[in-house]
Amino acid sequence: MARNLHEMIVYSDNFEIISSPAFYDCIVHLICNGGTGSFTYNDRLFRMSGNNIAVISRPQMVSSITADESFRCEYIAAPDKFLHNLLPANNYAIQGCISLFENPIIKVSDIDASRFRTDLDNIRKRIYNTDHRFYQELMGSLLQTMVYDLFDFHAKTNDNILTTDRVGYITTQFFALIEGGRPKTQREVSHYAEQLNVTPKYLSDTIKRVTGTSVSTHINNAATTITLEYLKNSELSISQIADEMNFSSLSYFSRFCVKHIGMSPAKFRTAGAKN
């Protein structure tokens, strides 16, 4: 049974449960408000203290959570897919996520820490405001503000967030293809490997190692964003969108939407019309 959005967005101050299976499809956005704590992530140990923010995109990779008696934190866990659909596949979003997978800790000033706490508090106050007729859009707006603030904090101390070696080059070029809109018509890993003159296995292994997410997931996430924009344009029929995006059949396009959006294209448009 599908869960409602308010059941998937969680506000908590319990540091010990950030690796809970309930968060495996979520991204955790946490700030330390005092004391010191630590956790292992992506096989590396990270420590947190006051005004440190952690952005954990793969909670299932967190282990060895410890904290002293004075440690205090608060965080929002929100569905990865919902957050992804809020943001354009811009260069900083992609490269910033890669960098945060390598090191999820952002050290911020008192002013930025206060701004982030305000973002969390605004979300906390509205999570259960489910009688709002535009609840999904409301929560999307609040979460989007939080994420763009995080981009700002991260960009201040990360001018060059990818290495210049072969791995960095392949990663950068792969995401350049993604950002250029290639997933609109090309959704096979082999296509991207051919464009980069590497084998599909090398590309898959490299992107998985650098980002923690598969090549196919990145491609399909970008294709989903494009699909949503098309579906919001009522001037195009569903069959026209399927043709424009190079799906082999209307039924294949419908299956793609059900898998990645959570509903058929016709149902998505019906739901949009009701709003």
pLDDT at 24 over 80: yes
- With a pLDDT cut of 70, the percent of the chain lying above it is 89
pLDDT at 29 over 90: yes
Q: What is the pLDDT of residues 161-178, one digit of tens each?
A: 544 467 777 888 898 898
What's residue 1's pLDDT? 34
CB 209 within 8 A of CB 173: no
In a 3-state reduction of DSSP, which class is residue 272? helix
Lay out the sheet containing 37-41: strands in order across: 44-48, 37-41, 62-67
The C-alpha angle with vertex 191 and arms to 190 and 195, in degrees rounded to 5, equals 115
Region 5-96+104-157: CATH code = 2.60.120.280
Burial class of 191 by CB neighbour count within 10 A (0 to 12, 13 to 18, 19+): middle
DSSP assignment of 245-256 = TT-S-HHHHHHH
Q: What is the pLDDT of residues 179-193, one digit of tens each?
A: 888 999 999 999 999
pTM: 0.65
166-274 has the same fold as 5-96+104-157: no
| Listed residue (97, 32, 98) closest to 65, CA to CA | 32
Q: What is the pLDDT of residues 193-221, one digit of tens each?
A: 999 999 999 999 888 877 778 999 999 99
Region 166-274: CATH code = 1.10.10.60
Amino acid at 191: H
In the chain, what are the domain boundaries?
5-96+104-157, 166-274
- Maximal CA-CA distance, the chain: 60
In a 3-state reduction of DSSP, which class is residue 88? coil
pLDDT at 231 over 50: yes
Q: How far is CA 259 from CA 30, 40, 85, 128, 164, in A?
A: 29, 32, 14, 27, 36
Amino acid at 215: V
